Structure formats: structure tokens, C-alpha cells
Structure 1
């Protein structure tokens, strides 16, 4: 595996065109930080006796009918994210960015902000940012979540002040988290769809880490990189949708080890490559 990684990394580093090193991360990379996956059995907060599948609860349609419940869940997650700390994998990626500089790009499906807190700069958060809000009625401005609104425990309700701050000042409708829900389409403003596909087109190698490929933009990013001759490296603990997509391709490498171990190896290979170039 190491020899294959060395060959791929050195070849991409020496290219003049389509020479970006792109990393695509999902919930698996934050598992060591104690953040459960959204789709996992422990990954969705259940309020009271209501049980929801993520595809039902995590929708704009559900929010319109149950805005307070969705905001309680969002603020519960806010507290969880704030209490979590970036792990070794997040910091390895920061070191890799420091080595590669503008040839490094990180596309993440995660909304936990751990990559940014670790120090990553070239970051594209394609599922949005829950620390931002926008009007559910379509008023165009995107705002920061007011600092007065704090994270919640599971059994905490919204305060009257929370509710006031979560209403649009223009039209009075509920504000909503600036994230992508299951019944919504990717766009550039919130999800960087065109930017991430442009990066994919120019990527000599795409490292896929801790994500199964269950949403369509990550899969399209992978297909775009393959279409333009880039190599896909699937770093996950088990097979997934990406594996099925690339298994018959020549320009691929499938690695079934932990992200932190593989990223440390990748970092060391890149460091040696940069020094010797």
C-alpha cells in the first residue's frame, strides 16, 4: 500500500495540470472526537417519545411543521459540536495543507466545524454551516447564528429570547439553520457545488475518508475526478458506495485502515516529496 501511495503522490505532485490534492471527508473522520454519525442508531436525537428516521426529520418539510422541535435538536447538536475537539486526523490534514499550500483542497460533508477549528483554510463545507442562519421564507441574507443563542441539553426547551432571535427581521418567518436537508438541492451559495466540481475536475488525486457516498454531490465529485483522469483513494473501514463505483477502475486504491494511520503516512510521503522536489 505504501509503495502505491508513494507512486500516486509523486506522479500528481510532478504534474503541471490537474495537479490538485483533494480530500473528501465525512462523519467517520469525526468519530474519534465523539460525534455520532447522522444516520447511525445513536446519531439522531429523539425528543420525548417521537422517533424519526433522518430522511423524515432532516427535511425542510418537517421544519415548516415543527420549527421549535428542529431548532431544539439543532441547538442540542450545537452543544455537542462545541464540546467536541478536533482529533489527530483533523490535525494531520492541517499539516498536509501546510505542505501543499494552494494545491490542497478539503471538501467536507461534515457540519461540526472541527476542520476549521483544527486550522484548515482551503475548506468547502458542502452540507452547509449550522452556525449560520437564513430565512425559511426566502429572504436572501445569510447571517451568523446570534451569539446569545446557546447550545441545549436534550431536555431544554427554547427560551422566549431564543424564539425572538430566530425570527426573520424582514418578514417575521422562522429563521433556519444554513444546512442542506434531505429534500433540498445543492447550490453554490450554501453548498459550493460548482466550486467543488471545478476542484474535482482539476484533482490529480481524490482521497475519500470516512464517508460512504450516500449523498449525490460527493458521488458526482468522485465521478468528475475519474472522468478527467484523477485517481481515487478510498480510505474507509469498510466497503461503501464509492467502492462499488471505483472497483473496476484502474486509477484507484482501496485502503481499509483507520484514517489517522493512513493520513500520517500520506503526510510523511508528501513531506518527503516536497523536500526532494
Structure 2
């Protein structure tokens, strides 16, 4: 299968000039120990102790239960701090060096592992757990307060934690700089227009470790599909929404491997072609 992909990439790299774009989801970080969202053991399948995620993961719920939501997010902070980039993340960093200005990486992930691995051109379309912003939108996003520690899920917020999680400008609660279920994509925080612009100029799109359950990633894939450009699915699962909407496409190529296996191989192919 990699021989056929090499032929496709050879054409793209030598005869075209558009972007070589990578769209990543939670699957690429699963091998770093971070749970995915919609797998059998995923966060959004299990929910929290008391609520389904479509209720809990909303601005509406946060506006009434700030301490509970922050307790959950400080547990997420702990998981992220313990996670390290895996071979898939590192391979993308090397691929970026090989492709230069043609490389684009759009990620649904909020963990920052792509940047930790050294990748520069990263568009976080669901935001970042490494940032906060005022819940009343009175200021720009800020880096996560250094004096608010990560916690176990059972640990309560301390008074000093609450103080540091308040906006210094207006006094309202800070919130995670991430997209919730009852919010819409926009350009300012989530690169909505930028993502479609990238899709419009993409020659080959690699879709890695994502099931296609959110609107903007689906829009990106459908845009590339309409333009009849190559789409490569890298995912050990074969029953995702992307598999369904791309079924029968003549420009679809599937790799049923984990990203930590497939991406280093892909990097080797690109390096060989560009020699």
C-alpha cells in the first residue's frame, strides 16, 4: 500500500504547488496516554460522574457551575502535563522540516503536544487547554495561570485557586480557551476561515486519528473532496464518519495503522522523494 502512496506523493510533490495538509484528532494523542473522546473508553462516552458531556461541556453549564468545571479541567491539566509527544507527533515535526512552506497542520486536539514536539505551523481549531480567557470576553486569551496547580479529579479548588481563576481586568471567572458544545466556530479563537482557506489550496489531505464527529473537520474534508484532491485516512478504525462520506471516492487512500506507525513511514517516503 505504501508503494501506491509513494506514487501519489511523487505526483503531488513534483507536479503541484498547493498545501500538503494534516488534520489530526484525539487518536494521535491516545498513544501518549490521553483518552480519546468517542472511543469505547472515551471521555464523551463515559461523561463525568453526574452528567452527560453534551450537558457538562457547555458554556451554559459552566456559567452555573464554575468550580465543578474547573475541577474537571484541572484534572485534564494533570493528564496533559504527564503526557509526552509520541512517534506520530515527532514524525510530523520532521515532515514539516521537509515540506517547508507547503506544510499545514490543523488539529482538533487541545493538548499542545504538536507544539511540544516542535511543530511550528499548527492551527488549533478547538482551542488550547494551555490557555484561558475571560468568560465575559473582556480581553484576549492568556497563558494558563502558573500558580493554579493540576489536581486529581477528586480534589476541590482552594480559595487561592479560585482567586487566580478570576479575570484581573473585570473580576469574572476565567474559562478554558476551548470550544464547548453550545458554541460556534469562529476565526478569532478557532481558525474557522483560515481552515477553509487551507482546504481550498490543499493538494493532499492526511486525516489522522479523528472520527469526523465535529463540524469544521467534516467541512475541511468535504471541501478537499469537492476539489477532487487526494485524501488519506490514517486510522486503525474503519467505521468512522469519514469512511462513510468518502466511500467510493477515487481520490481516497486508507492506511489502517496507528499514527505512530504510519507517520514515520510517511516521513521516510517524503524524504526519499525530495532527495
Maintained 8 Å contact 1:93/1:120: yes
Where does structure 1 lack aligned partners over 5 or more consecutive residues? none
Q: Could you list the per-position Cα deviations for residues 57-110 of structure 1 after superposition, in whole angstroms to 9, with x for gaps in the alignment?
A: 111111111110000111110111011111111111111111111111111111
Distance in 1, matches of 2:244 and 2:4, equals 20
- SS of residue in 1 equivalent to 2:31: helix
Look up the match of 2:218. Answer: 219
The offset of 1:144, in angstroms, is: 1.4
Look up the match of 1:184. Answer: 183
Relative to the length of structure 1, the TM-score reads: 0.93
**2:252 matches 1:252:** yes
Residue range with higher mean Cα deviation, 178-187 or 260-269: 260-269
The offset of 1:252, in angstroms, is: 0.8
The offset of 1:134, in angstroms, is: 1.2
Q: Could you list the per-position Cα deviations for residues 116-140 of structure 1 after superposition, in whole angstroms to 9, with x for gaps in the alignment?
A: 1011101011100121111112313
Maintained 8 Å contact 2:166/2:172: yes
Maintained 8 Å contact 1:12/1:20: no
Maintained 8 Å contact 1:39/1:54: no
Look up the match of 2:168. Answer: 169
- SS of residue in 1 equivalent to 2:84: coil
Look up the match of 1:266. Answer: 266
Maintained 8 Å contact 2:16/2:203: no
- SS of residue in 2 equivalent to 1:33: coil
- SS of residue in 2 equivalent to 1:62: helix
| 1:102-117 correspondence runs (5 A) | 102-117=101-116
The offset of 1:266, in angstroms, is: 1.1
| 1:10-25 correspondence runs (5 A) | 10-17=10-17, 19-25=18-24
The offset of 1:40, in angstroms, is: 4.2
**2:76 matches 1:77:** yes
The offset of 1:169, in angstroms, is: 2.4
Distance in 1, matches of 2:15 and 2:165, equals 49
Q: Could you list the per-position Cα deviations for residues 5-31 of structure 1 after superposition, in whole angstroms to 9, with x for gaps in the alignment?
A: 1121111112344x2111111111111
Maintained 8 Å contact 1:127/1:191: yes
Distance in 1, matches of 2:130 and 2:16, equals 38
Distance in 1, matches of 2:246 and 2:120, equals 29
Distance in 1, matches of 2:226 and 2:39, equals 32
Relative to the length of structure 2, the TM-score reads: 0.94
The offset of 1:41, in angstroms, is: 5.2
Look up the match of 1:54. Answer: 53
RMSD: 1.7
Residue range with higher mean Cα deviation, 217-226 or 129-138: 129-138
| 1:153-168 correspondence runs (5 A) | 153-168=152-167
**2:87 matches 1:88:** yes
Residue range with higher mean Cα deviation, 180-189 or 249-258: 249-258
The offset of 1:42, in angstroms, is: 4.1
Where does structure 2 lack aligned partners over 5 or more consecutive residues? none
Residue range with higher mean Cα deviation, 51-60 or 89-98: 51-60
Distance in 1, matches of 2:155 and 2:236, equals 36
